[in-house]
Amino acid sequence: MEKKPLILVSNDDGITAPGIHVLVKVMQRIGEVVVVAPDGPQSGMGHAITIGNTLRLDKSLAFDEVESYECSGTPADCVKLAKHHVLKDRKPDLVVSGINHGSNSSISVLYSGTMSAAIEAAIEGLPAIGFSLCDYGHDIDFSHTEEFVERITRQALEHGVPKGVALNVNFPKKSDNPIAGIKVCRQARAKWEEEFDERQDPRGRGYFWLTGSFVNYDQGDDTDEAALAQNYVSVVPCQFDMTAHHTITTLNNDWNLNPSSEPVLGSKNYENAGEGLG
């Protein structure tokens, strides 16, 4: 018999969220599934990890016939504990995260706990995919995503994901029109224009509530935002190396970072260094 691939599943909405149950159901068609997910919502945690606090990991009964654990920490914590403790003697063939309740396209990838679980896996040398549905409604319908989750997952297992890369997959909200297909894209240059609404609680203490609107500054037709607007599934390959490689030459050539005549602290060149200050 052909050995089934081992698939680790996590998320940021918590182990009881509807999206992870859809994702686990699809993964069970493909391989052996192990779940390590937060014990409560961890949205917007980015790549936070738990330091200086207790980190708890307990067996969960959230899934039938699936080995599952709930963790008190962040999505990144979940992947770390899964690799180094739960699966310390086994290596997952793939790590999948989601399906997130809400978009993680464009700049949201930086704040996303869903994608941080996937990127943590990539840091650990594991192929990884984060799945998100661009729908913030209360009665969210994930059914139209299942076919594409399975297709993308099987392709990732068959062909592999490049080392150090995690795929950021976003689905358009379900509509009367079928999904048009899948587009491999770049991240759009877009961001949230934030506002902080100043309010008072019943005791008269002031507090702030984050509001704002999403603005897309990118008119390119090769972005995740453009694909989603045309009812396509967007796939953006992401990496944890955030070096702006194209800027290295500019800084070396144009900035005077190591002048040959740079004075040394304590030398006579510094005798009058304090003059004219303060």
Per the annotation, does 93 bind a ligand?
no
Token match 């955030």: residue?
A: 242
Per the annotation, does 104 bind a ligand?
no
Distance CA 120, CA 241 (A): 12
In Å, what is the CA distance from 43 to each residue of 14, 67, 100, 140? 9, 23, 9, 16
Cis peptide before 99 (omega within 30 of 0): yes
DSSP state string for 7-65: EEEE-SS-TT-HHHHHHHHHHHTTSEEEEEEESS--TT-TT----SS---EEE--SSTT
Token match 């995740």: residue?
A: 224
Distance CA 209, CA 201 (A): 11
Tokens found for residue 7: 């698939």
Per the annotation, does 272 bind a ligand?
no
Strand partners, 58: 70
Per the annotation, does 135 bind a ligand?
no
Annotated binding site for a divalent metal cation: 12-13, 43, 100
Annotated binding site: 12-13, 43, 100
